[in-house]
Chain A
């Protein structure tokens, strides 16, 4: 999990992480906090109260120009025409074979003005792919270095927003984005997240990141806010079965196989990868990304462990880890469709020993409501 320290990039909040006692590791080329108080403690804080994450490593692209909606609809699987101004959606960018290049969020800022948030490790690749397919009259800008990102997540997020804004502005609704003048510049605040809890993602100018981060901590203090690292971010998203690109998504797997068909609009005009997806949708994919839960006391599953059924290997784990909420090992794996039925008994090979697991319905963490 750790990478060489030499070439790691630092976010504008790096010094704050050190000051707060964060434990830093290499992630996608960035020197990022994996934890502060502890992964399980931070996980439970987000599930029960409020946590704040540095997501400055993520990339921000801007697309504008007449014809941008049609072009984006050709590049992405979801339908951007469904977005009203100020709304966002989860979407995927595919290669010609229907495989996933990246998954991202896109927000409509005005009729022909779009804000995209992409994965940190994919910024250069995404930009090159988009630029290579650019249409006349559409402009693309990678402004990732200009922005810091701060995610506030947890059931107390709405109360935090009111405390932070001092009641001066209503909170955006789910998937909505607002553009505010705070923290010394233009800041986007979207009602979204990667934890399965209510929450916000703030994208502010890099120069005001430290001020915004500390204002967030101050305004959340009475609500029990804690800084959280990538470790908790991973366990939180895994319980929700949100895919992580590079682990659960890859250029060899389609969104249909990943169970993300909801974010693919086969009715809109042609988009890159569509033909493969349409055929898969019609004929049914051979494999699907299934979620599983270990049975009894077992080591937590990790990536690339063999998955067995009736003594034969049927796949390999993608993501895996311990679920603090369920107190059990959980994971995801692409399995033959027949084996993805909830209740199917499988085994996970952990260091040469096979441990029992059961395929479960996604998400693994059922919401309290």
Chain B
């Protein structure tokens, strides 16, 4: 399972990049199966850490995606609206979901590092 070294991870399988970009992990996309629809948050929405930020629908089920940290949505990935499969094929790249402006840049440090996340998913 691909777990890039330069990201931070939430227990609920979202990743956070240093610039505030959020997506779901390779493990999560594998568990979800074929993603067929992404309900993105509105730009400007303020979300608390752990709150539902958007919904990813696979063939199998609808899954809530949580904000890994508190912040304001400053951008969403329009590409996954028209091509939801990007979440499966490039979970850390073109399949990103939204970008947060963090309330507190230090909140990033509370998330799991790659080794801790690797240990979580076994």
Contacts and interface: CB of A to CB of B under 8 A. Distances in A.
A300 B57 contact: yes
A23 B33 contact: yes
A297 interface: yes
A302 B57 CA distance: 10
Nearest to B56: A299
Chain B, interface size: which category?
10 to 19
Interface stretch (A31-39, A66-74, A243-251): A31-39
Interface string B1-41: 00000000000000000000000000000110110110100
Chain A, interface size: which category?
10 to 19
Interface string B45-73: 00000000001011111100000000000
Contacts of B82: 297
Interface in B63-122: 81-82
Interface string A34-50: 11001110000000000
Contacts of B55: 299, 351
A65 interface: no
B15 to A, nearest CB: 21
Chain B binding surface, main DSSP class: mixed
Contacts of A324: 59
Interface of B: 30-31, 33-34, 36-37, 39, 55, 57-62, 81-82
Interface of A: 1, 23, 34-35, 38-40, 231, 235, 297-300, 302, 321-322, 324, 351
Given A34-B33, A39-B33, A300-B62, 14 more contacts: A1-B61, A35-B33, A38-B33, A38-B34, A39-B34, A39-B59, A40-B34, A297-B37, A297-B81, A299-B39, A299-B55, A299-B62, A322-B37, A351-B62
